[in-house]
């Protein structure tokens, strides 16, 4: 889907003698956008549906540029999504004249959805700021019918243009009046710094090559072949009903952190948990708040990514436990040959099998990229989940992909998440100030508070695991120390038990340090202590956001807080990935 928003001067600020020319320039821009989108979809058919791109115009349908663009879009066969700054009856009465109100009525009838924001009156500047923000949140390109002058107050076209550029949204600048070329502005044209709307470095002529450059950057997956291969891999993944790699959950159970149960080896348990959590969200947050958005596709995408992430997290972690534990046991078995020389050949054979098993396990894990699949799928899932709340708020949006100055996805998960956001479209419904505050509290209850609880629980569990592993490792080294001292004293005093149990002492003195090092390796590789600290820091920050969401928040405040909550969770994940991405499955 391609979403094009519109913002522009109202009828009183337009030259009535050039309305025909303005209509023609808007038609040309929309036709060029649809043609380029269709061409890109066809040439990259492996990543898109076989159907032609869905085209949607998002417009506040105010008298003037908004209504003209909406009428042209409908004539070209586009869908129309309407965003109103306040309740439709009051908004209709604010329009310039009977002709504008008649046009408003006709456009409302043809719209596929109407979003009424909780502005309070025509004089309420915040109402128009919200409408502009909502338009930018749900479009890929913004058409701005704008005289090019700086903002003369809040909520105007210039402010919306600057917001779009800051968020990485491309802007088609159509200047009212004859003699002006149509320009294409995009922060990606000047990827070194954040630029202002009047900076020439971000502007190009609106022509096919430049628009292809913009839409290729915004709509197509990253050009890197490895990233594109992962898109196909994600689409072709299959999950088995039974998880065979259970070493990690078994370790958690053995050290007393949690019980081993069906959730550790049955994939259905994970799918059921996700479905139940989304049902609670829908019944407690989405359904009671007069807002609707087609988030079923979002639930499906999130569920698939989350289940894959859970599967590969357990598989990868279990692979590490397997290698470290068997590596320590191999040392002990090798030493056992001194205690029972009659079985030396058998011990050598067992040690050979263990070594082969470690090498094979690492080779399979690296070849099938357990590590990257876990990291990628977890990051994708956590990008998708907050989108449900961002979408319901109407004016909120996830941060653009890439960097703040170059909004082009560099990784496949950023492109995929952006595609899901785009496919959902704009929500519909009506919010008044009380409804906005109620929605904010619902999001706090069903989105943010559960994440606070999760991070607290995760931090407690993982810290307990780290401390118990530390105790086990310390006990192994302490036992080695005690046996070493006993051996030295026994040799000095010529005690008979030293000769009688000398082989056992050698096994303990050599094997226990190997097992202790195994425990240390498991702790170091997994960074349990650092993971716990990151979760606690995230829980504290989200807890403060949760408190603010419950303080009778306005829609703008709720949108800011929810965007920040999503940002905090992704920041935690980015740091976690940075720590883990170099830790491929090794040989113990």
Q: Lowest mean pLDDT: which of 290-304, 341-355, 569-583?
A: 569-583
Give dist(CA 117, CA 12) in Å, integer.
24
269-280 mean pLDDT: 93
Residues 27-58 pLDDT 10s: 999 999 999 999 999 999 888 887 888 999 99
Higher pLDDT residue, 18 or 407? 407
pLDDT bucket at 511, cuts 50 / 70 / 90? confident
Q: Which residues of 257-278 are buried (b: 16+ CB within 10 A; e: fewer)?
A: beeeeebbbebeebbeebeebb
Confidence of residue 307 (pLDDT cuts 50, 70, 90): very high
pLDDT at 571: 81
The per-residue pLDDT for range 459-504, each reduced to its tens digit, is: 999 999 999 999 988 988 898 888 778 777 777 766 766 666 666 7
pLDDT band at 449 (very low <50, low <70, confident <90, very high): very high
| 204 within 8 A of 156, measured Cβ to Cβ | no
pLDDT digits (tens, 9 = 90+) for 160-197: 998 998 888 999 999 887 767 899 999 888 887 766 66
pLDDT confidence of residue 513: 82
Q: Give pLDDT tens digits for 218-255.
A: 999 999 999 999 999 999 999 888 888 999 999 999 98
| pLDDT (0 to 100) of residue 582 | 59
Tell me the whole-structure pTM to 2 decimals: 0.90
Q: Would the pLDDT of 331 be above 90?
A: no
The per-residue pLDDT for range 360-397, each reduced to its tens digit, is 998 999 899 998 899 899 999 999 999 999 999 999 99
State the Cα torsion 281-282-288-291 to the nearest 10°.
110
Instruction: Give the percent of the chain with pLDDT over 90.
Output: 49
* Structure-derived torsion over alpha carbons of residues 417, 43, 181, 137, reported in degrees to the nearest 10: -10
pLDDT of residue 126: 83
Q: How many other C-beta atoms lie within 10 A of the C-beta of residue 356?
A: 10
Mean pLDDT, range 97-107, rounded to an integer? 91
> Quick one: three-class SS letters along 22-65?
HHHHHHHHHHHHHHHHHHHHHHCHHHCCCCCCCEEEEECCCCEH
Q: Which of 128-142, 505-519, 540-554 has the lowest mean pLDDT?
A: 505-519
Average pLDDT, the chain: 87
Q: Which two tokens stand for residue 324?
A: 């470290």
pLDDT the model gives residue 13: 63
Binning pLDDT at 50, 70 and 90, where does residue 579 land? low
* pLDDT, average across residues 137-155: 83
Question: What whole-number distance in Å separates Cα of residue 386 and Cα of residue 525?
Answer: 30
pLDDT, tens digit (0-9, with 9 covering 90-100), for 417-427 = 999 999 998 99
3-state helix, strand, coil in the chain (%, to 5): 65, 10, 25
Q: What is the pLDDT of residues 74-84, one digit of tens each?
A: 999 999 999 99
Q: 363 near 532, Cβ under 8 Å?
A: no
Higher pLDDT, 13 or 54: 54
């Amino acid at each position: 889907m391609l979403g094009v928003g519109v913002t522009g001067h109202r009828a009183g600020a337009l030259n009535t003698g050039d309305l025909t020319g303005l209509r023609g320039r808007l038609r040309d821009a929309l036709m060029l956008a649809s043609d380029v989108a269709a061409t890109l979809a066809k040439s990259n058919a492996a990543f898109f549906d076989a159907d032609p791109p869905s085209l949607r115009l998002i417009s506040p349908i105010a008298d003037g540029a908004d209504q003209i663009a909406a009428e042209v879009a409908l004539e070209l066969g586009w869908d129309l999504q309407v965003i109103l700054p306040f309740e439709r009856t009051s908004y209709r009465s604010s329009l310039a004249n009977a002709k504008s109100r008649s046009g408003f009525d006709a456009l409302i009838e043809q719209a596929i959805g109407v979003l009424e924001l909780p502005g309070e009156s025509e004089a309420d500047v915040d109402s128009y700021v919200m409408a502009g923000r909502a338009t930018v949140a749900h479009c890929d390109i913004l058409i701005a019918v704008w005289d090019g002058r700086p903002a003369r107050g809040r909520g105007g076209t210039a402010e919306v243009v600057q917001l779009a550029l800051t968020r990485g949204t491309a802007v088609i600048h159509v200047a009212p009046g004859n003699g002006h070329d149509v320009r294409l502005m995009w922060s990606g044209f000047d990827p070194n710094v954040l630029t202002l709307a009047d900076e020439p470095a971000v502007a190009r002529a609106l022509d096919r090559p430049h628009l292809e450059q913009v839409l290729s950057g915004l709509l197509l997956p990253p050009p890197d072949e490895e990233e594109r291969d992962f898109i196909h891999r994600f689409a072709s993944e299959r999950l088995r009903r039974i998880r065979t790699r259970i070493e990690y959950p078994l370790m958690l159970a053995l050290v007393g952190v949690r019980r081993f149960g069906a959730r550790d080896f049955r994939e259905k348990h994970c799918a059921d948990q996700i479905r139940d959590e989304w049902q609670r969200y829908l019944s407690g947050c989405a359904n009671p708040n007069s807002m609707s958005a087609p988030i079923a596709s979002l639930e499906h995408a999130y569920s698939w990514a989350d289940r894959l992430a859970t599967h590969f997290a357990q598989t990868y972690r279990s692979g590490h436990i397997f290698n470290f534990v068997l590596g320590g046991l191999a040392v002990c078995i090798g030493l056992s040959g001194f205690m029972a020389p009659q079985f030396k050949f058998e011990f050598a054979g067992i040690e050979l099998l263990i070594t082969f098993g470690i090498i094979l396990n690492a080779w399979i894990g690296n070849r099938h990229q357990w590590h990257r699949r876990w990291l990628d799928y977890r990051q994708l899932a956590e990008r998708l989940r907050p989108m449900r709340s961002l979408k319901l708020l109407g004016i909120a949006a996830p941060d653009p992909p890439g960097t703040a100055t170059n909004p082009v996805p560099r990784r496949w998960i950023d492109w995929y998440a952006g595609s899901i956001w785009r496919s959902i479209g704009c929500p519909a419904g009506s919010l008044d100030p009380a409804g906005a505050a109620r929605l904010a509290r619902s999001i706090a209850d069903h989105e943010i508070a559960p994440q606070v609880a999760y991070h607290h629980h995760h931090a407690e569990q993982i810290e307990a695991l780290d401390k118990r592993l530390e105790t086990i490792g310390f006990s192994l080294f302490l036992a080695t120390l005690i046996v070493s001292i006993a051996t030295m004293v026994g040799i000095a005093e010529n005690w008979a038990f030293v000769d009688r149990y000398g082989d056992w002492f050698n096994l303990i003195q050599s094997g226990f340090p190997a097992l202790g090092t195994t425990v240390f390796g498991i702790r170091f590789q997994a960074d349990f202590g650092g993971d716990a600290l990151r979760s606690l820091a995230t829980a504290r920050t989200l807890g403060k956001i949760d408190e603010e969401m419950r303080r009778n928040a306005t829609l703008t405040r709720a949108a800011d807080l929810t965007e920040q909550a999503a940002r905090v969770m992704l920041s935690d994940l980015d740091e976690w990935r940075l720590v883990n991405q170099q830790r491929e499955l090794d040989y113990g």
